Amino acid sequence: MELERPLVRDAFPDLIAELVTLLEDEGEGELAICVRDVPLVAMCDCGDDFCQSIHTAVHPKDQPYGEGHRCVPLLSSKGMLVLDVIGTQIMYIEVLDREPMHNQLGPKS
């Protein structure tokens, strides 16, 4: 039985709205649709104070994503947003050097 996870859009609705707009602006329409439903698997635990990145798929730590992996950098007006993608599956949302995001679901997710 697969664990039901909250969606990133429920925890960080402003981030997802921004990602949808930026992806559409970059001509990444399919990813703009997909990003609306990515699960919040885990917050990054790197410990860097400038990082608020989000794991959106289960993936072994310190392992390459493998064939078909691509990075999708987005032109955000604040900080850095980069998606790690395999095909149309968003694996990771890199969120760097931005104002603290407030998790709408509370501290546990």
Q: What is the pLDDT of residues 13-64, one digit of tens each?
A: 999 999 999 999 999 999 999 999 999 999 999 999 999 999 999 988 888 8
How many angstroms separate the CA atoms of 103 and 106, rounded? 5
Query: What does the angle CA 103 – CA 85 – CA 38 come to, to the nearest 5 degrees?
Result: 35
Return the amino acid letter for 16.
I
What are the pLDDT digits (tens) for 51-108? 999 999 998 888 888 899 999 999 999 999 999 999 999 999 999 999 999 898 876 5
Closest by CA position to 9, among listed 108, 101, 96: 101
For 75: left if phi > 0, alpha if psi spans -120 to 50, otherwise beta; the answer is: beta
* pTM score of the predicted model: 0.91
